Every structure is written in C-alpha cells, then in structure tokens.
Amino acid sequence: MGEEVILEMKDIVKDFPGVRALDHVNFRVKKGTVLALCGENGAGKSTLVKVLSGVWPYPTYEGKIILDGEEEQFSNTREAEDAGIGIIHQELNLIPELTVAENIYLDRQPTNKFGTIAWEKMYADAKEVLQRLNMEIDPQTPLKTLTVGKQQMVEIAKALSHQTRIMVFDEPTSALTNTEVKELFRVIRELRASGVSIIYISHKMDEIKEIADEVTVLRDGASIGDVAAIADITLDQIISRMVGRKLEDMFPDRIEEMSRKKTLEVKNITVDDPKVSGKYLVKDVSFSAYTGEILGIAGLMGAGRTELVNAIFGVYGKKSIGELILNGEKITINSPKEAISRGIALVTEDRKELGLLLEQDLAFNISLPLLDDISKKGIVDQIEEHKIAEKYVEELNVKTPSLEVYINKLSGGNQQKVVIGKWLATKPKVLILDEPTRGIDVGAKVEVYRLMNKLVAQGVTVIMISSELPEILGMSDRILVMNEGLLAAELSKEEATGELIMEYATRHIKKGAEIN
C-alpha cells in the first residue's frame, strides 16, 4: 500500500438552491490504494464525485482539488479525464449498438493522414488495453452481445485508455453475478498493484471490508472523522459514522406480537413462459400469508419469485391460472387495478422503471394510485393531493426540500420511501415488497425494516422478496424458497439457516417431484 497522497480535496463546499450539498468536505487518496467512500443516500458522495470529475466545474463550488501536489480547476469532464480521473458509473455510460473498440475510443478515434478513422490501429489499441485487464474480448464485438459484467470491463478499459490514475467505482456490483463480482475485484487488485488509486463507493459493507485499504465517511454533506485504515475500524463504527447513531440491532425487534389470522391463500398458481412453449415461469405454487407476520420469499435470480408476486398482482391477467382467497373470499384478479381495489399492493423491484414517474413531482407520485378518488371531472384536487403527500412524507421521514421536487432529484433511499408511501396511501390489506432495500444505504434499510414491523403491528400482511440472506433471516417469520418456478421449501424462522435456504434454492428439482 502506498503512502504518497495523490489526491486531496480541501474544504469543498457545494450549494444548490436552498440546500448545502457539501459542507467543507476534506478528502484524500493515497497512490495505489483502494479508498472506500461511504455514506447514506443523500450524504453527498455523488456530488463530491461530480466536483472531482468536472461535472460541477470550477467556480460552481468552493475549495481546492490538489492532484499530485498541484491545484486543479476543471472546467469540464474532458479536462478531468485528461488529468487522469476516470468514473465507472453504476449505470454504464456506453452505446450498445457500437463495437467494443468504438466504445473505448468514442469521440477520440485515431485517424490516418487522410483524416479518416484508422480502424486497424483502433482495434489494436483496444486489444492492448483489454489485455491489460486479462480480458479476451474481440474489439470488433458489438457491445450489446456482452454480459453486464463484461460491459463493465469495457467501461474500465475505456477509462484506462485515458491513462487514468484515479478511478472511481460508483456502486459497481449492483447488477453483477457473484462470479462477475470476483472478476471485478481481481481487476481492482491488479489496478491497485499497478499504481492506480481507486475510490470505491458501495452500500455493501462486506465488499468494503474485502476490497478497501482505507475508508472515509460522509454524512449530511460533511466528512465524518478522519480517513481510517480498514483494519483499524469495525463495520459497526463505519455504520455509526454514516447514520450518526449506533445500530444496536440491524433488524429491529417487533414492538408487540399479534395474533395471526390467515389473510391471503394462494392455490396452484401457474404462469406459462410466453417465450418457450411447454415451459413455465411459476408452476403449481401454493402458500398462505397471515397478519402479524412477515413472509419472506428467497431464491436465486430467475427462480420465479417476482413472477409469482406479479401473478398475484394481476400483471399476467388471464395468462396466470390458480386461485386466490382473500380474508376467506375467493377473488379473481386479472389486472393490477383489480388487485389495488382488493387491497393488494406491490412495491416493484425496479423502482425507477416500474415504481415511479421520475419526471413528475413527489406529491403526484404518492397520490398516483388515488387519482380517481381525488379527481373531479378529470381535474386533480391539488389540496387533497398535497395533504396525502404531506402525511406520508412525515410518516416515512422522506428527506426532500418540498413536495414539488421531481423524484429524480431525490436519493435512492428517499425514492424508495416514496414508492412505499404511494402504496400505503391505498390502505392495503396485503403489502408485497420485491427487493425493498436494493440500492439503498444501511440507514435507509433500517428505516424500511422498522416501517415493515410497524405495518405488521397495524395488521397489514407483509410479503417480502429479498436476495440478501441476512435480510431474509433477520426479518422473516416464515420463509418460502423458490427454485426453477417451483416452491422448494417452506421454513420457520427457528429452522431456517443460510445454508439450508441455499440448499433448497440450488438443488435440482425434477418436474412433478414432491417438495419437502
């Protein structure tokens, strides 16, 4: 690990109308080290990176950026790139229709003496930079044919082609498989060994412990404590710095136990695969859900978890077969609108694509399922709309400058609270949460967990899908394990372990076999 400081950011202040996003932040990175940058959503991490990378150019901020001992004032992102600063964004900044080489050298292709693109040189240069990452990818391959993990490697190669000395990874593993995460970590370690400095932004504490040499924390736009060696600080101490309090128990206990009453009964739900004749997305799944408990649904990606709850919510219409019984009454649900009217709500896995209208304001998003109730002759009663929004902004502690702010301006954690608030406004009997804490920080996760417990205490039946085993084990009273569209197991809280869940989630199930 190097001791030479390559980057310092001193007393960085960045203001937006009515909000101080960065408040005299101090930050340093040593050469050839991995520095983890931690903080809740809205803590200022992205704003700090935008200052560093020239997205917010000088003098739209106060303070100094010192690179290799020299003060820099970047006017745009190109100047930052030329100085050796590269950003690997959570959402890749690539063009799927172009080849790998075209993406790496986009807008700076080598040219020949006639001023046209020197294709052979570009392919050779791209191959060379890919080989530095031990990636055997043909530079002429169309990007869209690659997996997300390999596309991310192309993004890294693109940064390296700029002679990058400082590389920022912003939530890089959110869409990667476990194998791709291991490959990414291998590349990061090799970059570190070659002298590249890494700034690693992640909400995943286990990743930070595994890959980082040092860690620094932002909270409410300010740097909290000094940069610490990862060996000298515990995860509890990192979390405490992030949220300003100790998290004695990541998964809070229920305030009180409720008597359990069967709310929802699902019988033999089956959904055929529309793409492959004779295959199914969900096959003959039956279970019951009760008040006074959280029912967890575990399983690997593609196991049929999301498809199961979508079928319950009416997404597949008449293409889904099976029976639903709600509070003792057999019901038919052929659309999400019918599900909502019956008191069933679904917080979708992808909040940006399916859960929110990003170009609409907060008040509109929360009141969206109630538009028929608060409209007369097609005109929305804005007083009522704001009254509903205010109620759930306060109840869920949504951090926002106003109800008129566009949703895309809020942090991920606050966006998730708005999605949940939207469905709570419908007064659901059954609330289904599909990956409710994906992409949000640890402080926001605990707030979601507390909200779930509160809803259970109020008599709402909660069903939660999660890919995080600690979350499933920590929050669920019973756990269903899905495997290849089938229900592989139903486990009580007392008998469930991570190993047992994974055994049921991964073992081969013969079609038609009895599931124990």
314 and 265: one domain?
yes
Instruction: Confirm whether 451 is domain-assigned.
Output: no
The per-residue pLDDT for range 56-87, each reduced to its tens digit, is: 999 999 999 999 999 999 999 999 999 999 98
Domain with 369, as residue range(s), is: 350-427
Helix crossing, 235-243 with 442-457: angle to 10°? 80
Query: Of the ranges 156-165, 234-243, 494-503, which one carries the lowest mean pLDDT score?
Result: 234-243
What whole-number distance in Å separates Cα of residue 14 and Cα of residue 343?
44
362 and 472: one domain?
no
328 and 280: one domain?
yes
388 and 376: one domain?
yes
What per-residue confidence (pLDDT) applies to 245? 58
268 and 231: one domain?
no
56 and 132: one domain?
yes
Q: Alpha helix locations (H) across 283-361?
A: 305-312, 336-341
> What's the first-to-final CA gap in the chain, in angstroms?
51
Number of H helices, E strands in the chain: 16, 22
Q: Which of 217, 243, 269 is the last residue of a domain?
A: 243
Adjacent-strand bridge partners of 70: 67
Asked whether the whole model's pTM tops 0.85, one would answer no
What whole-number distance in Å separates Cα of residue 200 and Cα of residue 172?
8
Q: Which of 368, 402, 427 is the last residue of a domain?
A: 427
Instruction: Confirm whether 254 is domain-assigned.
Output: no
Q: b/e for 25-43, b at 16 or more Cβ within 10 A?
A: bebbbbbbbbbbbbbbbbb
Instruction: Confirm whether 444 is domain-assigned.
Output: no
Query: In which band, very low, low, confident or very high, does the pLDDT at 514 lie, cut at 50, 70 and 90?
Result: very low
What per-residue confidence (pLDDT) applies to 510? 46
The per-residue pLDDT for range 111-141, each reduced to its tens digit, is: 888 889 999 999 999 999 898 888 889 999 9
Instruction: Confirm whether 229 is domain-assigned.
Output: yes
469 and 422: one domain?
no
Domain count, the chain: 3
What mean pLDDT comes out for the span 188-192? Answer: 92
The per-residue pLDDT for range 250-302, each reduced to its tens digit, is: 777 776 666 678 999 999 999 988 777 778 899 999 999 999 899 999 987 77
User: Domain containing 496 — which CATH number?
Assistant: 3.40.50.300
Query: Do the Cβ atoms of 421 and 393 come closer than 8 Å?
Result: yes
What per-residue confidence (pLDDT) applies to 2? 54
Instruction: Confirm whether 9 is domain-assigned.
Output: yes
339 and 367: one domain?
no
